[in-house]
Structures are given as structure tokens and as C-alpha cells.
Amino acid sequence: MASIPTLPGIESRRVSTPRLTIHALFSGPADGVPVLFVHGNASSSTFWEETMLALPEGFRAVAPDLRGYGDTDDVLVDATRGVGDWVDDLLALKAELGIGRYHAVGHSLGGSVLWGLLAADGANIDSATLVAPGSPYGFGGTRGENGIPNFPDFAGSGGGSVNPDFASRMGAGDRSSDEDNAPRNVMNTYYWKPPFRSEREEELLSGLLSEKVGPQKYPGDFTASENWPGVAPGVHGPANAIAPKYVGNTVERLLALQGKPRILWVRGKDDQIVSDMSLFDFGTLGKLGAVPGWPGDDVFPPQPMVSQTRYVLNLYEGEGGEYEELAMAGVGHTPYLERPEEFMAALTALLTR
């Protein structure tokens, strides 16, 4: 059973696979068309419950907790595989549940996972909805639309890019609102655009705090670098897994897919986490004077995360794929909670097309 109370109509189960036992939430008819929901970082399957229940008739929602999160087995993420551990876990879950073809929805880090899932299993995906996804070139440390690394060691990305006080408070289960780095305040400041507050704030905060924290867990380790800002990716944990160092040839595999799934890309225009001036990116923080020693735009510009995603999706379209971009005004990092009716209208249109 889920450690976080669920909404009526949501079923909680643990599913044993050859890789690990995965906790997942389910809704809809058992024989419905499967829709796989992949949550973001500092989050869990709990964040998807309202969206799951709003699916049109005849669809079956499956929302797992990724390894390192929620009530799934506490198993380490091998960051050197990029998002590979998560992709293989999802494929194992899919096999255990007897899922053939399916739709996939991923948010934030879950969108990063979806890039990898599309590359690995695109032949079985009918559509993919990317909600505020991380850049297909990884999070942090790259420049230009085509994701060129700022430094050969990918300095400025990985575990060393996470605020250590925030991670420490997560690990301590801090539910206060006394400091800027308190998880509750980070959630209500950056996950959505204030003054939005969720009616399920306590459950969502529990989902945030469910991530496993530690030197080999979140945020992961880091290595010292001679390049600004002095840290480069390590080999453990979620923040390193989405670093550009370990992305590999995901973009090339995505473009080479035969029978490319339709893609819906949804983002908030006021997103502060994934944007062309992300407040979670060293390039932006250096430019704003929040991190000293910034070497300038010529060396370490803010990562153009949105522009990189659009660049890759335009290449995808040029190779025979199809995508739609939905940019919501007045919305932050979590459009499906901030503007659920508009989000569900777009998702339903895609699913029932």
C-alpha cells in the first residue's frame, strides 16, 4: 500500500519485477488502453492522481514511483547509464503488467526519462506527452540549441549543482516553512507559479519528501573540477543521471525511430526550473551574480533548455515525426496541476486522436 493517502478511485500496488519491486498507482478499467505516467524529481506518483482520474473513459492509468523515490524499493541509481536504469525498470514493469502498446506522459525529470524511453521503446508507444521536460541534452553545463558542452568534464552539472541545504532538509523530512530552502517553500515557489497552492499540498509535500537522500542517492556525488563553478558530475544518483555527461546518443536514436510516436510538449511560460534562464542552472545564477566568478556568456551562458527541446523536436519533425507545443501563459513548472482543464483537453485530444 502507498505510504501517502490516495484519492478515491486510485489503487496502490507493489509489482515485483526481475529488477526490483515497484510501487505504482492505478486507475481506470483493467482492460483499458494503458497510459504510463512518469513523475519528476523531488516528487512521486502522488503528483499524478488528479490527472489519472480525469482520463477519458476506456483508458488505464499506471503511475509508478521511480527507483530512488516513493514506495519503490530503495535501490541505487547508476548515473553512468544516464536514465537507463529508470528506462529498464519501466520496461520491466510494462512486461510484468502485460502491456504491449501504450501512451506515455512524463514531467520534468520524468520527461528526461521519456526521451530515453522513446529511444528504447518508441515502436510500442502510441503517443508521448512531455510536460516541462528536461532538455534532451541533459540538465546543466551545455550551450546552444544543439547542446554543446561548456567544458569537456561537463562542469556545472550533476550532483554538485543541487543546493545542499535543500537536500539536507529533504532527508530530515522537514515540513516547515521557516526558511527559503524548506521543501514546502521550494515547492510553492518553483513547482508552480505563486499564488497557486494545491488543495493536496500536504500529500504533494509528502511525495517530494519521499525521495531517498544520501551521498549515493539524492542528489548524488560530484567531482572537483578546474573549470567554473568547480564541480562536475559524479556517478551516483538522480542529479548525475540527467547530467549531459551521460545522455549518450539519445537524440540520434530518437531521430532514427521508425514510425515515430506523436509528441505533445506542454510547458508553462513562467517556468523557473526548465527555461532558457533557469534559476536552477549555474549559467543563469552566475549571470545574475548569485554564484561568484562567472566566466561570462562566451564561456558558460545560461543553458537554453526550452530552445534545445524545440530544436530537437524540429529535427524529429523533419525526420517524419509530429509534435505540438502548448505553452501556457501564467503557468510555472507543473501545468497539469496549475491548469488541469486546459492540460486535460490537450492530452485527451492526443489520446483519442
Q: How far apart are CA 138 and CA 161, in angstroms?
A: 13
Average pLDDT over residues 219-244: 98
Residue 321 covered by a domain: yes
User: Does residue 278 sit within a domain?
Assistant: yes
On whether residue 4 sits in a domain, the answer given is: no
Is the pTM higher than 0.75?
yes
pLDDT of residue 215 exceeding 90, the answer is no
Q: What CATH number is given to the structural domain containing 176?
A: 3.40.50.1820
Residues 174 and 248: beta-carbon distance below 8 Å: no
Residue 168 belongs to a domain: yes
Which cell goes with 53? Answer: 482520474
> Is the per-residue pLDDT at 308 higher than 90?
yes
Question: CA 304 to CA 147: how far, in whole Å?
Answer: 9
Query: Model confidence over 245-288: pLDDT tens digits?
Result: 999 999 999 999 999 999 999 999 999 999 999 999 999 999 99
What total number of domains does the chain contain?
Answer: 1
The answer to the question of residue 169 being in a domain is yes
Q: pLDDT tens-digit profile of 157-198?
A: 999 999 999 999 999 999 999 999 999 999 999 999 999 999
Residue 5 lies in a domain: no
All three cell numbers of 124, joined, read: 510500442
Tally of CB atoms within 10 A around 299: 14
Q: Which domain holds residue 232?
A: 11-351
At 61, phi and psi to the nearest 5?
-90, 135
Q: Is residue 185 part of a domain?
A: yes
**In one letter, which amino acid is 206?**
S
pLDDT digits (tens, 9 = 90+) for 309-329: 999 999 999 999 999 999 999
| CA torsion angle 274 277 281 282 (round to 10) | 170
Question: Considering the domain boundaries, does residue 312 fall inside one?
Answer: yes
